[in-house]
A and B are shown apart, each in its own frame.
Chain A
């Protein structure tokens, strides 16, 4: 069974834990660096407010440890704020882990009135529901990054080796297939 560490300093981490547990993975919460010593086969960075998650992971010393794990090949999935934490460029904002060669623009779809639902073709998975909540936009994709899903010509899910990231929220839809795709990366 895969052991998945889910960053739990703020945001919708419970939702990821519920989905991954349903799929048979064992999850634990990461609130301090000591939690990372429990030995994670993979990491999840959930949705939430990226400013809050960035500040707390930095203050708590989690950020460099996580960064080292991701660089050394530990699979990671980032959704929404998690994508922002992974991105190597955040337009007009602070870079956090900076391990994923993409640029993102925060709140690019507008305030809450700009939040929306859609559907899209996810490579190797099929058509999946896409929930965008005050979502960031991927504005540049670096070399070696595969675009797994696009909406109106804009990449919304990308993979770079062991890193999977998306601007939408698969943990909110009840559709487990994107998480299953991630667990296949872990095995």
Chain B
């Protein structure tokens, strides 16, 4: 009961973040800029995904001291990342009273088979997903918020679009099948039956679903909202660009007014240089990491 009540509260915090932008920040100064620009939450991490990509090597949970510095700098919720399957990193983040943990493919996975049993924690988790199967498996493990994986650190929105579309299409399919066909559908997706039945009845995920991974411009953010995202994560896109304050505020406006092309035109003006980016073909050519394939 205690556990269910806590899960409800955690799902509800994600509901409060809807229509908002969650921004990656690496310093208290950046966190303050993000809050002032209208971020609904900041993600505290030592290196943004673009730099993790460039640096290579093993990427781990950030220094708790650095995360605490950011918690003290802002009044909005603070998220932090732990490695897939690394439940001790998650315990540490819970001990410093983080508001949300991102069990993230952006860091090097610590377990190539198991994700964290998130039902054992009081603190909420968000997890990445490329399709409905991954989303419902993560929810089955206790995630109270889902985001698309996209391809982090690239500034290329194509993967986030493909993941959001895949999820929408599978939700529509599952909604359309007969009641007695849900069992087979759940088996095919390798997901818990009760969660498949929820989607069949309600036509949506039981938790909030944000877009993430490659969002770089106000237009990208509005694109993801029009495709049905509840909100947007922007990682490297802001502090890797020419004018972070202005771009951050513009993306916040774009997520509020995602259906108003006039506003989108206005806020897209004169933002300076966007992050240079790296596209998925280049990732393959450079034999760089495809983060989206981590943790299925």
A residues adjacent to B (C-beta < 8 A): 8-15, 31-32, 47-49, 51-52, 55-56, 59, 80-81, 93, 106-107, 110-113, 115-117, 131, 133-134, 169, 172
Q: Which of A52, A81, A133 contacts B12 (CB 8 A)?
A: A133
Interface residues of B in 1-51 (CB under 8 A from A): 5, 8-10, 12-13, 15-20, 35-36, 38-41
Q: Which of A11, A31, A107, A110 contacts B18 (CB 8 A)?
A: A11
- Contact: A12 with B18, CB < 8 Å? yes
Q: Which residues of the partner chain A approach B5 to less than 8 Å between Cβ atoms?
A: 117
Q: Which of A48, A106, A107, A115 contacts B20 (CB 8 A)?
A: A48
Q: Which of A13, A48, A111, A113 contacts B40 (CB 8 A)?
A: A48
Can you list 22 A-B pairs with a CB-CB distance of less than 8 A?
A10-B18, A11-B18, A14-B18, A31-B256, A32-B257, A47-B15, A48-B19, A51-B35, A51-B38, A52-B20, A52-B76, A55-B36, A56-B256, A59-B253, A111-B71, A111-B77, A112-B13, A115-B13, A117-B8, A131-B8, A131-B12, A134-B16
- Contact: B20 with A134, CB < 8 Å? no
Interface residues of B in 244-283 (CB under 8 A from A): 252-253, 255-257, 260
A-B contact count (CB 8 A): 105
- Cβ of A29 to closest chain B Cβ, rounded Å: 10
- Cβ of A120 to closest chain B Cβ, rounded Å: 16
Chain A residue with Cβ nearest B8: A117
Chain B residue with Cβ nearest A171: B15
Q: CA of A111 to CA of B71 in the docked complex: distance in angstroms? A: 10
Given A12-B15, A12-B16, A134-B13, A51-B75 contact (CB < 8 Å): yes
The majority secondary structure among interface residues of chain A is loop
Chain A residue with Cβ nearest B255: A10
Chain A residue with Cβ nearest B256: A9
- Contact: A49 with B17, CB < 8 Å? yes
- Contact: B16 with A49, CB < 8 Å? yes
- Contact: A56 with B38, CB < 8 Å? yes
- Cβ of B91 to closest chain A Cβ, rounded Å: 13
- Contact: A31 with B99, CB < 8 Å? no
Q: Among B17, B38, B124, which residue has the most Cβ atoms of chain A within 10 A?
A: B38
- Contact: A113 with B122, CB < 8 Å? yes
B293 close to chain A: CB less than 8 A: no
Q: Which residues of the partner chain A approach B99 to less than 8 Å between Cβ atoms?
A: 111-112, 134
Given A112-B10, A169-B12, A134-B77 contact (CB < 8 Å): yes
Chain A residue with Cβ nearest B208: A12
Given A10-B40, A49-B40, A115-B9 contact (CB < 8 Å): yes
- Cβ of B64 to closest chain A Cβ, rounded Å: 14
- Contact: B75 with A112, CB < 8 Å? no
